[in-house]
């Protein structure tokens, strides 16, 4: 006798035999997790390929072994230091400037890069013609970004005017190290040889120029350790540095965030699928109770019976995961098309075995984990069930271990989200939100059943009563359908709402008489002439602001070196490395509100500390408080200040907003430039005004907000597409879970529908009952989902985007009707099978 | 003669909230190895409950059930399962074949559970004896009621049980099919020398056994050899 052991081969055989007649159903159960796994494998593969590509192409991202950057030209000892580095060096000076295409008269703000040396040492400036990337350096020629060339329909050989100099266009710039499709749209680059830079006349005092030095080392040099030794000297000279390794880490980090976010979206799809699996297995096992009882009579141990079905679940879990992994790997081939504009490197897609392994492991684990609560009940099936009268329905006892499993499931969700988010708080918020949504939907389902039973409309016609009663009668699918449909709807609506919130913010900025042109880098001696030009062309100047550049030297008597020594103050040390653009005025603007302290608009010049105002968020991030003292360096003059007030700034409005504001009476004589905000009524007037400014004042830069908004819109669309693509998995999973749930309920409703037909109910009557039941379910589920989405989006709007939230009615109404109708439709299609066959045939099939 | 089943002061009480319902009370009897016995009584008299207790499908609330020298009271669920597999065969009113297994596989399961090898010829032989060799690969849904009960017979005898419990074996069959199934049951039983316990309210079927126990209201009201019972009727 072999009943002492598990007799595993026999268990396998039984699992296989028992599955034969249920395979299509088992596949249906597991199909709900296929898409979730596919989403995860696609995202993990993408992450894996990104990492691999970044590793392979890191050197071409930076174009050299070491890049140093600062906001002033290196001189003296620092220059000697830079000149002593590596075996070859290049210098680049870049700044924003208007460029003019004399042929068509078009002008636009571009990033001008004056280059000296043979940069890039790794990768190349990809141009058409190919040789242009090398030849332009020796002539009065420029490389112009392809977006600019396209916009102004320029050709190679045409000319381009930058400041006072006209260059011939040597080639179209397609790709430069570190440049993405997006950066070339926002700030297209123009390369010119360094030796013509002075002639352009754009190197005036106050111009914001970035200086970069690219250094190539001999092969096999350990650049990292060399740089480590020089770190202090670079810092002393205010030079930032990047190495291939640091560039690799930085780039990797940003894309890791993206893939983590997308993996979470995929995980939601998987969770949704798991709910479907759990509910399907629950019904499946309920139907198997009699068979299990027979097995128990024949001498099968409870644990063996449990294992037979566990083996089936593991089997379909693996099959589902394999199918998901194949689908995910296929989808992954298309993801680069979606995100290529965000990438500074070429993305190649290889099959990622690591991602496939992760997908298989998660899929199998999660299908087992979610099937275990219903499977556990097998252990409680008594052999006595076989002696029961056939009409008596068997019941399953709830196992206390089930609660332990629920805890494990919650732990798994938390653990998974923690792995994606890496912070306890965010993982907790995610887990609680998901659980909260489940609970709310489950509570709604229970409430619906309770209300229907309690206030049952006995006066309604039979068909309505029957359809309504199906919601709470035994074997109803109310809870699972409301949870799965509701969650799917909540996801779709949250995406719609979020997109709406973001777009409303952008549109607000562009409506009415809000400024749509920003002029900056206006020198003090040009200010009056620009104002006169604006008046002449009837362009109103909404705002004119003076800006003084300065650097921070001390906070509360401590300099950057003091902060760096104190590792706990890492955040604060960063406030020293940057240049501050500061304005001075005697009042606050409409987009500002004093939150702490007192606004002081005039400095009495009595030798006391200068009272300044800081933006609230900046103060928080920098850990600077009211009353702290700060010393600023304004072109060599030290200014001792005290934080007199903190301001809340609405950055959403088109205004010149500042982190630091000085009072009047201090900076009037300091070197400064000016920014003006204007509103031009139409594109023609805008083009005319911009052209006049560029011709008369080549150093003045113009930002055309209409153009910026178009770019933003493009970015939103692209990001939106990525998110919609991923959310699509959840939505599709929701539909599959819906189909599976409805199909399962078909088995549940089979006897009853057949009986009704036997008693003479027409097809139409049974259809009506079914349609009504699914309409009640679909409409309540989608309504609850929408309410959840409104609550979620409202909190997102309030706490995350700090924007007003006004949900649009029409798209929501469309979602409501679509989901309700889809539920009814799937319910009806599934019932069709039963109704088209004679009752006896159906009865005999379901022994 | 050796005793295979012995019940001593067996009682079964179902608890329903604060109320308790006595289904069986002070049941005492024993069965000799190889004998045949019928338990008869009206619906609700407790005969199926009694069968469940005898076959180790349920536990007695009081008293002692001893099967083939093993006291069932103290055994765990898994130990009971082992006892069923080793010593007991079952035939049920509603056949209780596993719908996802073919006729042959249904017959093979008890043998496979014992870890026996080369069992297919034996299972086929049994199916042949019940006249279903040709239908061995059919699923229960493809068989008539009588055919399903014959498969159930083959399954019951497959593990050469010491004792066979039949719960209303003809309850779901017509008269003609019932007769054939009963003949088959007794023939196979005689050939195997198995102890047979039949629970029924069909007195004709009961009359085919050697001894009849009559129960009513959870109590034994008579226990006598069949000849005496029949003459007493």
Question: For residue A222, what pLDDT band results from cuts at 50, 70 and 90?
Answer: confident
Residues 52-91 of B with CB under 8 A from A: 52, 55, 57-58, 77-78, 81-86, 90
The answer to whether the CB of A694 falls within 8 A of the CB of A110 is no
Q: Is the pLDDT of residue A374 over 80?
A: yes
What's the mean pLDDT in A781-787?
88
Q: Which of A28-32, A529-533, B74-78 has the lowest mean pLDDT?
A: A28-32
Mutate one of A299, A305, A312, A747 to test the B interface: name it (highest B CB count within 10 A): A299
CB atoms A294 and B97 under 8 Å: yes
Q: Is the pLDDT of residue B4 over 90?
A: yes
Most confidently modeled of A203-212, A337-346, B182-191?
A: B182-191
Provide the 3-class DSSP secondary structure of residue A453: helix
For residues A451 and A25, the model is more confident at A451
Q: In what order do the strands lie in the sheet with B219-225?
A: B88-91, B163-167, B195-200, B36-40, B211-216, B219-225
Q: Which string of b and e fits B100-135 if b means at least 16 CB within 10 Å?
A: bbbbbbbbbbbbbbbeeeebeeebbebbebbebeeb
Question: For residue B233, what pLDDT band results from cuts at 50, 70 and 90?
Answer: very low
What's the mean pLDDT in A232-241?
82
Q: Provide the token pair at A124.
A: 């190349």
Cα nearest neighbour of A841 on chain B: B141
Q: Which domains does chain B have, with CATH numbers?
A: 32-48+86-232 (3.40.50.300)
Q: Is the pLDDT of residue A744 over 80?
A: no
What's the mean pLDDT in A790-815?
79
User: Tens digit of pLDDT for each residue in A163-214?
Assistant: 889 999 999 988 888 776 666 666 788 999 999 988 888 876 556 788 999 9
Q: Is the pLDDT of residue A764 over 80?
A: no
Residues 625-664 of A with CB under 8 A from B: none
Q: Which of A94-98, A352-356, B87-91, B193-197 has the lowest mean pLDDT?
A: A94-98
Distance from CA of B80 to the nearest CA of A (A): 8
User: Tens digit of pLDDT for each residue in A440-454?
Assistant: 888 988 998 898 888
Distance from CA of A433 to the nearest CA of B (A): 40
Question: For residue B117, what pLDDT band results from cuts at 50, 70 and 90?
Answer: confident
Q: Which of A300-304, A455-459, A805-809, B225-229 has the lowest mean pLDDT?
A: B225-229
Q: Provide the token pair at B194.
A: 């198995």
pLDDT score of A569:
55
ipTM above 0.90, yes or no: no
- Mean pLDDT, chain A, rounded, equals 81
Distances (CA, A) of A280 to A31, A227, A700, A736: 11, 60, 68, 12
Task: For chain B, give the secondary structure using H, E and C.
Answer: CCEEEEEEEEEEEEEECCEEEEEEEEEEEEEECCCEEEEECCCCCCHHHHHHHHCCCCCCCEEEEEECCEECCCCCHHHHHHHHHHHEEEECCCCCCCCCCCHHHHHHHHHHHCCCCCCHHHHHHHHHHCCCHHHCCCCHHHCCHHHHHHHHHHHHHHCCCCEEEEECCCCCCCHHHHHHHHHHHHHHHHHHCCEEEEEECCHHHHCCCCEEEEEECCEEEEEEEHHHHHHHC
pTM: predicted TM-score of the whole model, two decimal places:
0.69
* Closest residue to B57, CB basis, from A21, A22, A297: A297
pLDDT score of A758:
63
For residues A562 and A10, the model is more confident at A10
- Mean pLDDT, chain B, rounded, equals 88
Residues 3-22 of A with CB under 8 A from B: 3-4, 7, 10, 13-14, 17-22
Alpha carbon distance A452, A457 (integer Å): 8
Cα nearest neighbour of B80 on chain A: A299
DSSP-derived secondary structure letter, A116: E
Question: For residue A47, what pLDDT band results from cuts at 50, 70 and 90?
Answer: confident
pLDDT score of B211:
94
* Closest residue to A847, CB basis, from B84, B85, B140: B140
Q: Is the pLDDT of residue B145 over 80?
A: yes
Burial degree of B181 (CB within 10 A; 0-12, 13-18, 19+): buried
Task: Write out chain B residues lying below 8 Å of A291, CB-based.
Answer: 98-100
pLDDT score of A306:
92
Distances (CA, A) of A731 to A493, A668, A720, A827: 11, 60, 15, 18
pLDDT score of A397:
56
Sign (positive or negative) of CA dihedral B13, B14, B15, B20: negative
User: Tens digit of pLDDT for each residue in A134-161?
Assistant: 889 888 999 998 878 887 888 899 999 9
Q: Which of A177-186, B106-115, B180-189 has the lowest mean pLDDT?
A: A177-186
User: Tens digit of pLDDT for each residue in B10-60?
Assistant: 999 988 778 888 999 999 999 999 999 999 998 888 888 898 899 888 889
pLDDT score of A745:
64
CB atoms A387 and B110 under 8 Å: no
Residues 20-49 of A with CB under 8 A from B: 20-22
Cα nearest neighbour of B107 on chain A: A298
Chain A with chain B: Cβ pairs closer than 8 A: 101
CB atoms A7 and B115 under 8 Å: yes
Please check whether residue B98 touches A, CB under 8 A. yes
Please check whether residue A287 touches B, CB under 8 A. no
Provide the 3-class DSSP secondary structure of residue A286: helix
Q: Which residues contact A412 (CB under 8 A, 6 or more apart)?
A: A365, A366, A369
pLDDT score of A589:
83
Task: Write out chain A residues lying below 8 Å of B58, CB-based.
Answer: 382, 384
CB atoms B84 and A18 under 8 Å: no
Q: Is the pLDDT of residue A391 over 60?
A: no
Question: Scanning the structure block, which residue is given the tokens 């990768």?
Answer: A123
Please check whether residue B113 touches A, CB under 8 A. yes
For residues A623 and A750, the model is more confident at A623
CB atoms B85 and A299 under 8 Å: yes
What's the mean pLDDT in A247-276?
76
Percent of chain A whose predicted confidence (pLDDT) is above 70: 84
User: Tens digit of pLDDT for each residue in A567-611?
Assistant: 555 556 667 767 788 999 888 887 788 999 999 888 888 888 999
pLDDT score of A56:
80
CB atoms B57 and A298 under 8 Å: no
């Amino acid at each position: 006798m072999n009943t002492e052991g598990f007799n595993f081969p026999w268990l396998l055989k039984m699992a296989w035999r028992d599955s034969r007649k249920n395979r299509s159903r088992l596949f249906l159960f597991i199909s709900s997790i296929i898409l979730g796994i596919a989403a995860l494998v696609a995202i993990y593969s993408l992450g894996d390929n990104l990492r691999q590509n970044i590793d392979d192409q890191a050197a071409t991202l930076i174009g050299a072994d070491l890049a140093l950057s600062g906001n002033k030209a290196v001189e003296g000892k620092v220059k000697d230091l830079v000149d002593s580095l590596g075996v070859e060096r290049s210098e680049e000076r870049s700044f924003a400037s208007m460029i003019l295409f004399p042929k068509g008269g078009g002008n636009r703000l571009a990033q001008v890069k004056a280059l000296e040396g043979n940069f890039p040492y790794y990768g190349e400036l990809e141009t058409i013609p190919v040789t242009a990337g090398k030849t332009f350096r020796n002539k009065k020629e420029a490389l112009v970004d392809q977006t600019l060339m396209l916009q102004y329909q320029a050709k190679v050989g045409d000319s381009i005017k930058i400041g006072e100099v006209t260059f011939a266009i040597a080639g179209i710039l397609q790709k430069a190290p570190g440049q993405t499709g997006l950066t070339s749209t926002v700030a297209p680059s123009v390369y010119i040889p360094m030796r013509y830079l002075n002639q352009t006349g754009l190197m005036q005092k106050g111009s914001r120029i970035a200086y970069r030095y690219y250094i190539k080392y001999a092969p096999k040099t350990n650049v990292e350790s060399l740089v480590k030794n020089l770190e202090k000297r670079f810092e002393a000279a205010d030079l930032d540095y990047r190495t291939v390794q640091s560039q690799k880490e930085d780039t990797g980090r940003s894309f890791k965030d993206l893939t983590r976010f997308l993996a979470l979206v995929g995980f939601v799809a998987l969770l949704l699928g798991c709910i479907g699996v759990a509910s399907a297995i629950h019904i499946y096992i309920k139907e198997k109770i009699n068979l299990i009882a027979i097995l128990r009579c024949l001498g099968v141990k409870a644990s063996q019976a449990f294992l037979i079905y566990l083996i089936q679940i593991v089997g379909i879990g693996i099959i589902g995961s394999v199918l998901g992994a194949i689908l995910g790997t296929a989808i992954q081939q298309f993801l680069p098309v979606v995100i290529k504009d965000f990438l500074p490197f070429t993305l190649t897609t290889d099959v990622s075995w690591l991602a496939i392994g992760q997908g298989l492991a998660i899929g199998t684990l999660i299908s087992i984990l979610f099937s275990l609560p219903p499977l556990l009940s097998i252990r409680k099936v008594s052999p006595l069930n076989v002696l029961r009268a056939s009409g008596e329905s068997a019941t399953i006892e709830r196992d206390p271990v089930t609660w332990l499993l629920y805890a494990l499931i919650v732990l798994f969700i938390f653990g998974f989200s923690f792995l994606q988010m890496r912070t306890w708080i965010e993982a907790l918020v995610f887990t609680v939100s998901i659980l909260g949504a489940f609970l709310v939907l489950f509570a709604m389902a229970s409430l619906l059943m309770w209300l229907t039973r309690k206030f049952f409309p006995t006066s309604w016609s039979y068909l309505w009563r029957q359809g309504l009663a199906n919601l709470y009668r035994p074997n109803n699918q109310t809870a699972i359908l409301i949870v799965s449909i509701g969650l799917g709807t909540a996801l779709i609506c949250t995406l719609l709402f979020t997109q709406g919130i973001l777009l409303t913010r952008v549109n607000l900025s562009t409506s009415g008489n809000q400024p749509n042109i920003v002029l900056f880098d206006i020198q003090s001696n040009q200010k009056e002439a620009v104002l006169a030009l604006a008046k002449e062309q009837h362009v109103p100047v909404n705002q004119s602001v003076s800006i003084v550049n300065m650097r921070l030297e001390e906070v509360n008597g401590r300099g950057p070196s003091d902060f760096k020594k104190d590792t706990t103050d890492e955040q604060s040390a960063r406030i020293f490395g940057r240049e501050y653009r500061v304005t001075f005025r005697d009042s606050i603007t409409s987009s500002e509100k004093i939150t702490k302290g007192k606004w002081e608009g005039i400095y009495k010049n009595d030798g006391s500390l200068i009272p300044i105002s800081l933006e609230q968020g900046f103060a928080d991030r920098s850990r600077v408080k009211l009353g702290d003292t700060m010393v600023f360096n304004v072109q060599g003059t030290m200014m001792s200040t005290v934080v007199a007030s903190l301001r809340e700034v609405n950055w959403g409005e088109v205004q010149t907003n500042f982190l630091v504001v000085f009072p009047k009476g201090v900076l009037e004589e300091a070197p400064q430039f000016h920014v003006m905000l204007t509103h031009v009524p139409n594109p023609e007037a805008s083009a005319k005004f911009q052209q006049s400014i560029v011709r008369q004042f080549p150093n003045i830069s113009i930002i055309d907000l209409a153009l910026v908004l178009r770019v933003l819109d493009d970015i939103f669309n692209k990001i939106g597409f990525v998110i919609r693509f991923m959310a699509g998995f959840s939505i599709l999973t929701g539909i599959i879970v819906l189909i599976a749930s409805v199909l399962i309920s078909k088995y549940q409703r089979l006897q009853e529908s057949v009986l009704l037909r036997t008693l003479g109910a027409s097809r139409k009557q049974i259809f009506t009952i079914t349609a009504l039941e699914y309409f009640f379910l679909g409409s309540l589920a989608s309504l609850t989902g929408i309410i959840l989405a409104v609550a979620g989006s409202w909190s997102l709007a309030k706490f995350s985007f700090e924007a007003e939230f006004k949900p649009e009615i029409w798209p929501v109404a469309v979602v409501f009707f679509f989901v309700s109708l889809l539920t009814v439709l799937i319910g009806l299609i599934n019932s069709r099978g039963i109704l088209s066959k004679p009752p006896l045939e159906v009865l005999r099939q379901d022994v | 003669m050796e005793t295979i089943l012995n019940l001593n002061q067996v009682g079964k009480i179902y608890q329903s909230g604060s109320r308790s319902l006595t289904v069986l009370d002070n049941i005492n009897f024993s069965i000799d190895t190889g004998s045949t016995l019928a338990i008869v009584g009206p619906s609700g008299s407790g005969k199926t409950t009694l069968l469940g207790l005898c076959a180790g499908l349920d536990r007695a609330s009081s008293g002692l059930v001893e099967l083939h020298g093993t006291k069932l009271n103290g055994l765990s669920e898994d130990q009971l399962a082992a006892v069923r597999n080793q010593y007991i065969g079952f035939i049920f009113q509603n056949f209780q074949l596993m719908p996802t297994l073919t006729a042959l596989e249904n017959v093979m399961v008890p043998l496979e559970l014992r870890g026996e090898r080369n069992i297919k010829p034996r299972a086929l032989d049994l199916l042949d004896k019940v006249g279903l060799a040709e239908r061995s690969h059919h699923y229960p849904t493809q068989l008539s009621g009588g055919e399903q009960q014959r498969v159930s017979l083959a399954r019951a005898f497959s593990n050469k049980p010491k004792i066979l419990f039949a719960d209303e074996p003809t309850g779901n069959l017509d008269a003609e099919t019932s007769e054939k199934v009963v003949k088959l049951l007794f023939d196979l039983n005689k050939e195997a020398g198995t102890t047979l316990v039949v629970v029924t309210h069909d007195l004709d079927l009961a009359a085919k056994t050697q001894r009849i126990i009559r129960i009513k209201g959870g109590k034994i009201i008579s226990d006598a050899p069949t000849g005496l019972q029949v003459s007493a009727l």
